[in-house]
Amino acid sequence: MATIKDVAKAAKVSVATVSRVLNDTGYVHSDTKSRVTQAMQELNYFPNEVARSLFKRESRLVGLILPDITNPFFPQLARGVEDEIHANGFRLLFGNSDEDREKELAYLQTFKQNQVVGVIAVTNEPESDMYKDDIPVVFLDRTVSNAPSVFADATTGGKIAAMELIKRGSRQVTLLKGPAHLQTAQQRFRGALDVLTESGVDFHVMSTASFSFQEARKSATALFQLYPETDGIIASNDIVATAVIHEALRIGKTIPQEVQIIGFDDIPQSELLFPPLSTIRQPAYDMGQEAAKLIIKAIQKQPIHQPVIQMPVSFIERETTRKVESQ
Amino acid sequence: MATIKDVAKAAKVSVATVSRVLNDTGYVHSDTKSRVTQAMQELNYFPNEVARSLFKRESRLVGLILPDITNPFFPQLARGVEDEIHANGFRLLFGNSDEDREKELAYLQTFKQNQVVGVIAVTNEPESDMYKDDIPVVFLDRTVSNAPSVFADATTGGKIAAMELIKRGSRQVTLLKGPAHLQTAQQRFRGALDVLTESGVDFHVMSTASFSFQEARKSATALFQLYPETDGIIASNDIVATAVIHEALRIGKTIPQEVQIIGFDDIPQSELLFPPLSTIRQPAYDMGQEAAKLIIKAIQKQPIHQPVIQMPVSFIERETTRKVESQ
DNA sequence: TTGAAAGCGCTACCAT
DNA sequence: ATGGTAGCGCTTTCAA
């Protein structure tokens, strides 16, 4: 790899001048400029980002911490982040935390050691000291107080889910409650619970320990054993909803006639299920993009008028809920 | 952030000594060492990776280029890569190429500018000049001549798909041919074609332009219009297979009685479909992991006895194929 | 066993 | 309009 020195030598100028044309700063005669530009081309020169970062004490790298890219909700988020930062000349340093504090901390640490200019994190511990720091952070999907963050309106999502189910005739609702440590899961739950409580329909609550499909499958089996009469199920997310659909089909329940099911997230495969899943959609790609916009503003020290961005959720009506009669 | 100088001052030694304990090189008295270590702790010192990289002319970063993390086949791959390199102290620089040469080149370029020690790429152009280079490269999923690469045995996969379908009684097979520019798609196709040709069963070939679900849906519709008598479909991948299932169900075909369907990849949602999809499995996570192992060996300049790794594929029997009578 | 100093490739300041 | 040079934080000779 050619260095700035090589270019300077080839163009018969000083490194300072090369640097000037590189960054388009200060005066440089147009003749000189073209000599330099030509030398750069001939030598196939590209500036060493590492040297730049060292001098500037910051890179053009943004760190992204996700629980698990293998979980179908996250690729969308990641893509939204990546597209936006890429368009602004930044690159992505990426790590899976598995919701594990140690791993998260380790990534954050090495990200900082690599002088990332900012980090976007999907974390359960936004309050943690590890985020009390010099470097800009945007929390994604989950949030805290009024730190910069982007997340979906989970509470409203839960409410909508419950309302839609009731509107469509469910009278024995089962409400699946997601993992206790996940803020979003709890908010969905609360929202649905509120509506259910005020509604007058019968309902029971069941906890699902995790969002994994295997766990969800067990919960689904238990669900229909405990509450065989249930005619409406609010799943804690689409994965759980998928497991519920499977179990319902397996034991011969008709969907949505005998039992309605509603999910949360609208992961891409939800519409590919049979029957296609009615669900509460979170705009994952957009959320990622908004988070990226926020971090870019912070990096560029632009004023952030709206650091806390709550994204709207929407009911996606597919085939696991009944049609409303009069519309 | 504290620097090596701060530590040196606090421990009353030179920066050279601090560097020595940091890297565990050269002699340093145990008393001195503990003084230094303590100073590090007190100052919460972590070495600046950027400065290190600049001096060493290489970072601890590995670049990963993927077509699109949003495509369900890739997160597995990415996770395999990430887990393995993480375990070896490397971090991941990540970019989506969208199979676009320009984007791919741009990422590769900036990766190099950031002095990545190696790159793992899922690319259609492994032959391209951009990969003829100083820095180690491992090709993933796709391959060329005998550059270091990890990929699944697509040809055998295609053969197995055709054999299983025939064995299970399909006599009017439709073979879906994936995008022409995708090596793997072509190999699957060739493998299946060979078996079909020699088998004596009737078959027709249909091209599917892309792997997107929307496109696949159109192909599926056309398929059943053109070949209503078809009783066995070899899809170019699981996404396409999913579209075929949907269309078959929509027009009232029973699966697998009237028509058998077989996919390729075994993406996570394949088992969640209805009916669960029989498919040819590629061990995506393992492939990512192997690629990472390869790049790490290359980075560490260890001898690579097996630079070209072909991973086995396997038939995953689920519900879109009939059971074989005698087993 | 330790320290001084050069230098990795770049930018920015100060001269001229 | 251009060049010289210090210095970003680190590692690694070389000397002591």
Question: What residues of A are in contact with residue B73 (Cβ under 8 Å)?
Answer: none
Environment class of A180 (CB within 10 Å of its CB; exposed 0-12, middle 13-18, buried 19+): exposed
pLDDT confidence bin for B210, thresholds 50/70/90 = confident
Beta strand A278-281 with A314-316 is antiparallel
Cβ within 8 Å, pair A69-B69: yes
Q: Quick one: pLDDT at residue A215?
A: 87
Mean pLDDT of A147-171: 96
Site of tokens 């100052």: B43
Q: Quick one: pLDDT at residue B211?
A: 76
Mean pLDDT of chain B: 94
Which residue is closest, via its CA, to the C1' of C11?
A55
Element (H, E) at A65: strand A61-66
Cβ within 8 Å, pair A91-B78: no
Residues 6 or more apart whose CB falls under 8 angstroms from that of B116 comprise B59, B61, B62, B63, B93, B135
pLDDT confidence bin for A126, thresholds 50/70/90 = confident
Beta strand B202-207 with A202-207 is unpaired
Give A260-308 pLDDT, tens digit per residue.
Answer: 999 999 999 999 898 999 999 999 999 999 999 999 999 999 999 999 9
Q: How far is the CA of A97 from the C1' of D2 (A)?
A: 51
Element (H, E) at A198: helix A183-199
Task: Map A217-240 to HEC letters.
Answer: HHHHHHHHHHCCCCCEEECCCHHH
Residues 6 or more apart whose CB falls under 8 angstroms from that of B131 comprise B108, B121, B123, B125, B137, B147
Question: What residues of B are in contact with residue A82 (Cβ under 8 Å)?
Answer: 69, 94-96
Closest Cα in chain A to B217: A272
Site of tokens 């393995």: B84
pLDDT confidence bin for B127, thresholds 50/70/90 = confident
Mean pLDDT of A157-167: 97
Q: Name residue A178's amino acid.
A: G
Give B304-319 pLDDT, tens digit per residue.
Answer: 999 999 999 999 999 9
Rounded (10°) angle between helices B284-299 and B74-87 = 40
Q: Quick one: pLDDT at residue B214?
A: 86
The alpha carbons of chain B give a radius of gyration, in whole angstroms, of: 26
DSSP code string of B169-195 = T--EEEEEE--TT-HHHHHHHHHHHHH
CA angle B297, B292, B108 (to 5 degrees): 100
Give A224-245 pLDDT, tens digit per residue.
Answer: 999 999 999 999 999 999 999 9
Q: Quick one: pLDDT at residue A99?
A: 92
pLDDT confidence bin for B1, thresholds 50/70/90 = confident
Q: Name residue B102's amino acid.
A: E
Question: What residues of A are in contact with residue B112 (Cβ under 8 Å)?
Answer: 1, 46
Q: Does A143 score more than 60 pLDDT?
A: yes
Give B164-189 pLDDT, tens digit per residue.
Answer: 999 999 999 999 999 988 889 999 99
Site of tokens 């029971």: A204
Q: Rounded to an integer, what distance in angstroms lies between the CA atom of residue B144 and that of residue B127? A: 7
Is the peptide bond preceding residue B275 cis, with omega within 30 degrees of 0?
yes
Closest Cα in chain B to A273: B273
Q: Name residue A273's amino acid.
A: L
Instruction: State how far residue B201 is from chain A, nearest Cα, in angstroms.
Output: 31
Instruction: State how far residue A81 is from chain B, nearest Cα, in angstroms.
Output: 11
Q: Quick one: pLDDT at residue A160?
A: 98
Nucleotides of C under 7 A from a protein CB: 1-5, 7-13
